[in-house]
Amino acid sequence: MKLHFLAAGYGKNSGYLVQGDSWKVLRYPVMCLLIERDNGDLVLVDTGLGSRQAEQFKPPIYCGALFNAWMNGFTKVDLANEALINQLPSLGFDPLKVSTTIVSHLHYDHAGGMPDFPHAKHLVNTREWEAVSARKGWNEFRSGCLRTQYEADGLDVELISTDPRRPYHNFPSSYDVFGDGSIVLVDINGHSPGLLGAFVNLPSGKSFFFTSDAWVFPAGFEKRKRKPRWARAILGEGQEADQTIERIHRTHEERPDIEIVGAHDPRVPGRLNLAPFFYE
Ligand SMILES: [Zn+2]
């Protein structure tokens, strides 16, 4: 088993996503994980912005999400090169070998690539799916989730739930994707209703914990700085988001050897080696 880190594009924004932080512009990645299993199958954790942004954002109901994407610099991404479906072949991977994707949540910058992998099984948290797909009108407009992505024709979506009989580190329940402890998902709700975090445990003993958007910029985790009130209101972030940050902190205190990787941490592409480098 091998683990690769990929940036499926970069955005640019000021520190407005962290309350009281500077407004200096940061360039930050859309991180995804690619796991090569011993049987040759490929697994993605998050699918990035995908290659079909223009058509996905076209319905007027998604203008709110389009504005969000524009604010975050995600409308200027070089999708011809950076969308995973276009990036994988240049790294020597066959996109048809992607058998499973784990979609941490349904925001457009994580679920956008789902339709690029129509042959794969897409794992989504039941709680995320039920809450997001029920949104209509204003709530759908502002949600940042696009049916043109997660309900695209022919997608094989499998809804999963963590098992309360299987606590994992400081999380009360977990979902072992392949039943071998190599990829274990936990609930890190708050930023979205059913946000999933992924522990990836490598044969060498090295582990990574992908925390997706539980926090966006480093101060959100390290200094426990919340987003501004208006941003939390739009995202519906409340007490659950704070509880998730505390659980991640406790895990980090107990197991500092487990490397925490945020989806948009600007430091990740420098701290970790990106594909074609791999960890095993
Ligand atoms: Zn995101």
- DSSP code of residue 179: S
* Distance of alpha carbon 104 from alpha carbon 37, whole angstroms: 19
Instruction: Point out which residues pair with 158 in neighbouring strands.
Output: 123
What letters, b where the CB count within 10 A reaches 16 and e where it falls short, cover 208-222? bbbbbbbbbbbbbbe
pLDDT at residue 14 is higher than 90: no
Q: What separation in Å is there between the alpha carbon of 9 and the centre of ligand 1?
A: 12
Q: What separation in Å is there between the alpha carbon of 30 and the centre of ligand 1?
A: 7
pLDDT at residue 19 is higher than 90: no
Q: What separation in Å is there between the alpha carbon of 39 and the centre of ligand 1?
A: 30
Task: Classify domain 2-271 at the CATH topology level.
Answer: Metallo-beta-lactamase; Chain A (3.60.15)
For 201, residues 6+ apart whose C-beta sits below 8 A from its C-beta are 181, 182, 183, 184, 207
Q: What separation in Å is there between the alpha carbon of 261 and the centre of ligand 1?
A: 13
pLDDT at 23: 66
* Distance of alpha carbon 87 from alpha carbon 69, whole angstroms: 21
> Are 173 and 166 in contact, with CB atoms under 8 Å apart?
yes
pLDDT at residue 20 is higher than 60: no
Q: What separation in Å is there between the alpha carbon of 7 and the centre of ligand 1?
A: 12
Max Cα–Cα distance, the chain, nearest Å:
49
Q: Where are the domains of the chain?
A: 2-271
pLDDT at residue 29 is higher than 90: yes
- pLDDT tens across 221-243, in order? 888 887 777 778 877 788 899 99
Computed over every residue of the chain, the mean pLDDT equals: 93
- pLDDT tens across 199-224, in order? 999 999 999 999 999 998 888 888 88
pTM beyond 0.85, yes or no: yes
* Distance of alpha carbon 183 from alpha carbon 201, whole angstroms: 6
> Are 180 and 190 in contact, with CB atoms under 8 Å apart?
no
Q: What separation in Å is there between the alpha carbon of 52 and the centre of ligand 1?
A: 17
Q: What separation in Å is there between the alpha carbon of 89 and the centre of ligand 1?
A: 24
Query: What DSSP letter does each residue of 13-42 carry, written as one string?
Result: E-GGGSTT-----EEEEEEEEEEE-TTS-E
Q: What separation in Å is there between the alpha carbon of 102 and the centre of ligand 1?
A: 14
Using a CB cutoff of 5 Å, list residues around ligand 1, an ion. 109, 213
Which of 12-26, 147-161, 164-178, 229-243 shows the lowest mean pLDDT across its residues? 12-26
Q: What separation in Å is there between the alpha carbon of 94 and the centre of ligand 1?
A: 25
Query: Strands 121-125 and 98-102: what pairing?
Result: parallel
3-state secondary structure of 197: strand
- End-to-end CA gap in the chain: 6
> Which class for 58: exposed (0-12), middle (13-18), buried (19 or more C-beta within 10 A)?
middle
Report the side by side order of strands in the sheet with 259-262: 174-176, 183-187, 196-201, 207-212, 259-262
Which of these, 247, 183, 184, lies nearest to 214 by C-alpha position?
247
